[in-house]
Amino acid sequence: MVYTNAHRLFLQILTSRRYLLGHEVQSTYKKCCAKFHVTADNLLEFVKEINEELGQINLVIRKSIQEDYESDSQCFVLVNIFDSDVTRMNSTFTSQELALFRKVIEAIVQSEDGSILITEAINMAFNLKQKMKIGESEALIDRLVQDGWLLQHTDQKILSLSALSTAELQTYLEEQYGDIILKCFFCKLVSLKGYSCTECDVKVHRQCGSKFWIRNGSQSPSCPDPKCAAEWSHVEVNLPRKCSKTQN
């Protein structure tokens, strides 16, 4: 397919948002194609054609996983592949603001469930070499949420990394915390809030794991690595029960 105005509009929308969740991707794709009378029959091929154009300016659209507080969502993220280190934001944030953002990232990565209290993030201003006022720290956290780097969950008290952060800052996360963070056994993307095996190093996104267990007709979760296959009694997943035939 020739690169069309439908491709350009889709990219324009994604550029303004930085990432689109699964249902948003589909609806945006269909609307862009309808507007310019392009057949909407292959989203992945459509994105591939955009990526061929983006390669010239060191950008790429990547699939990622948004790990929200209660569930996961697939999404597409616009990523800068020329320089994905957190220091790339030097043109947008001061060194003091970046120092606080790094501390927030570190706390989230090292937490048990991939999230921290928003008050904890704000109070990290006291731990910086160059102290930051609480008002400034609070304003920065709000900005990071508004810009899509952090997720502020429904109860408004908890923060975690967004799909934008895990995709855009993947190199930084792996270099700094490669001995801590794990990638999903299935999709090979970083998972901070997924299910972890208690017997081996396997970790899976909640969405990826649930799809696997349902597809395989599992009655209860277990480690997807056949070398381990340990029962995951610590994981609660609502799996469909097999129907049993009643004999007359």
pTM to 2 decimal places: 0.85
Cβ–Cβ contacts within 10 Å for residue 149, how many? Answer: 22
- Residue 170 CA: distances (Å) to CA of 15, 151, 162, 188, 190: 19, 17, 12, 12, 8
Q: What is the pLDDT of residue 248?
A: 41
Q: Is 224 helix (H, G, I), strand (E, B) or coil?
A: coil
- Residue 163 CA: distances (Å) to CA of 25, 95, 184, 190, 210: 14, 23, 14, 10, 19
- What is the percent of the chain with per-residue pLDDT over 90, rounded to a whole number? 67
Q: Give the H/E segment covering residue 73.
A: strand 72-80
The answer to whether 138 and 132 have CB atoms below 8 angstroms apart is no
Q: What is the pLDDT of residue 246?
A: 44
- pLDDT (mean) for 65-86: 83
Report residue 244's pLDDT band, with 50, 70 and 90 as the boundaries.
very low
Q: Report pLDDT digits (tens) over 93-125.
A: 888 999 999 999 999 999 999 999 999 999 999
Cβ–Cβ contacts within 10 Å for residue 58, how many? Answer: 12
Q: Report pLDDT digits (tens) over 142-169.
A: 999 999 999 998 776 999 999 999 998 8
